[in-house]
Amino acid sequence: MNIQELKKLGRDRLEEKQVEDSSHKADILLQFFLKMKKTWLVIHMQETVEEEKVTKYLNAIEEVIGGKPVQYITNEQSFMNLKFYVDENVLIPQPDTEVLVETALTEVDKTIKILDLCTGSGAIAVALEHFLEEKEVEIVATDISEKALEIAKKNAISNNANTKIKFIQSDLFAQIPKQKFDLIVSNPPYIETETIKTLSKEVQHEPKIALDGGEDGLAFYRRIAKEAFDYLEYGGKLLLEIGYNQKEKVMALLQKEKKYVNIRCIKDFENRDRVIMAEKLKK
User: Would you say residue 128 lies in a domain?
Assistant: yes
Q: Does residue 171 surpass a pLDDT of 80?
A: yes
| pLDDT mean over 145-173 | 95
What pLDDT score was predicted for residue 3? Answer: 92
What pLDDT score was predicted for residue 281? Answer: 82
Q: Are residues 83 and 160 located together in one domain of the fold?
A: yes
What pLDDT score was predicted for residue 283? Answer: 65
Q: Are residues 260 and 120 located together in one domain of the fold?
A: yes
User: Would you say residue 113 lies in a domain?
Assistant: yes
Closest CA to 42 of 32, 31, 58: 31
Quote the CA–CA distance of 6 and 251 in Å, as a whole number: 51
Q: Are residues 230 and 130 located together in one domain of the fold?
A: yes
Q: What is the pLDDT of residues 213-236, one digit of tens each?
A: 999 999 999 999 999 999 999 999
Q: Assign 179 a pLDDT band (cuts: 50, 70, 90).
A: very high
Q: Are residues 207 and 154 located together in one domain of the fold?
A: yes
Count Cα neighbours of 202 within 13 Å in the Cβ-side half-sphere.
12
Q: What is the pLDDT of residues 11-66, one digit of tens each?
A: 999 999 999 999 999 999 999 999 998 888 888 889 999 999 999 999 999 999 99
Q: Region of 44 please: left (phi>0), alpha (psi -120 to 50) or beta.
A: alpha
What pLDDT score was predicted for residue 68? Answer: 96
Rg (CA), the chain: 21
Q: Check residue 271 and report its DSSP letter.
A: S
Q: Are residues 113 and 41 located together in one domain of the fold?
A: no
User: Would you say residue 146 lies in a domain?
Assistant: yes
Q: Assign 282 a pLDDT band (cuts: 50, 70, 90).
A: confident
Span of 39-43, 94-98, 176-180, 231-235 with lowest mean pLDDT: 39-43
Q: Are residues 50 and 167 located together in one domain of the fold?
A: no
Q: Are residues 117 and 89 located together in one domain of the fold?
A: yes
| pLDDT mean over 138-163 | 95
Q: Are residues 51 and 142 located together in one domain of the fold?
A: no
Q: What is the pLDDT of residues 111-129, one digit of tens each?
A: 799 999 999 999 999 999 9
Range of the domain at 186: 79-280
Q: Are residues 87 and 62 located together in one domain of the fold?
A: no
- CATH number of residue 185's parent domain: 3.40.50.150
pLDDT, mean over the chain: 94
User: Would you say residue 234 lies in a domain?
Assistant: yes
pTM of the model: 0.94
User: Would you say residue 74 lies in a domain?
Assistant: no
Q: What is the pLDDT of residues 61-87, one digit of tens each?
A: 999 999 999 999 999 999 999 999 999
Structural domains in the chain (count):
2
Q: Are residues 54 and 113 located together in one domain of the fold?
A: no
Quote the CA–CA distance of 129 and 143 in Å, as a whole number: 17
